[in-house]
Amino acid sequence: MSSMRQPSRVSMDNLPDRVRIWEVGPRDGLQNESSVIDTGTKIAFIDRLTDAGLPIVEATSFVRADRIPQLADGAKVMAGISRRPGTRYPVLVPNEKGLDAALAADARDIAVFASATETFAERNLGRTLATQMEMFAPVLDRARTEQIPIRGYVSMCFGDPWEGFVDAAQVVDVCVELADRGCSDVSLGDTIGVATPGQVRQLIGLLVDAGIDVERIGVHFHDTYGQALANTLAALQSGVSTVDASAGGIGGCPYALSATGNLATEDLVWMLDGLGVETGVDVGKLTATSLWLADYLGRPVQSRVASALLH
Whether residue 53 lies inside any domain: the answer is yes
Whether residue 13 lies inside any domain: the answer is no
Whether residue 6 lies inside any domain: the answer is no
Burial, 180: exposed, middle or buried (Cβ in 10 Å; 0-12, 13-18, 19+)?
A: exposed
**37 neighbors 3 (Cβ within 8 angstroms):** no
Beta strands in the chain (DSSP E): 20-23, 56-57, 60-61, 91-92, 110-115, 150-155, 185-190, 217-221, 242-245
Q: What is the pLDDT of residue 181?
A: 93
Give the CATH number, domain containing residue 91: 3.20.20.70
**92 neighbors 27 (Cβ within 8 angstroms):** yes
User: Which residues of the chain fall short of a pLDDT of 50?
Assistant: 1-2, 258-259
Q: Is 253 a catalytic residue?
A: yes
Q: What is the pLDDT of residue 302?
A: 87
**Residue tagged active-site, from 157, 175, 183, 253:** 253
Q: Report the number of distinct structural domains present in the chain.
A: 1
Whether residue 235 lies inside any domain: the answer is yes
Q: What is the pLDDT of residue 1?
A: 39
**26 neighbors 48 (Cβ within 8 angstroms):** no
**187 neighbors 151 (Cβ within 8 angstroms):** yes
Angle at 123 between CA 101 and CA 302, to 5 degrees: 80
Q: What is the pLDDT of residue 36?
A: 86
Whether residue 167 lies inside any domain: the answer is yes
The rounded Cα 30 to chain-centroid distance in angstroms is 12
Q: What is the pLDDT of residue 138?
A: 93
Whether residue 283 lies inside any domain: the answer is yes
Virtual torsion, Cα 111, 218, 195, 28, nearest 10 deg? -40
Q: What is the pLDDT of residue 134?
A: 92
Angstrom distance (rounded) from CA 200 to CA 232: 9
The range of the structural domain enclosing residue 129 comes to 25-310
| pTM: predicted TM-score of the whole model, two decimal places | 0.95
Whether residue 11 lies inside any domain: the answer is no
Whether residue 67 lies inside any domain: the answer is yes
Angstrom distance (rounded) from CA 311 to CA 304: 12
Residue range 95-118, pLDDT digits in tens:
999 999 999 999 999 999 999 999
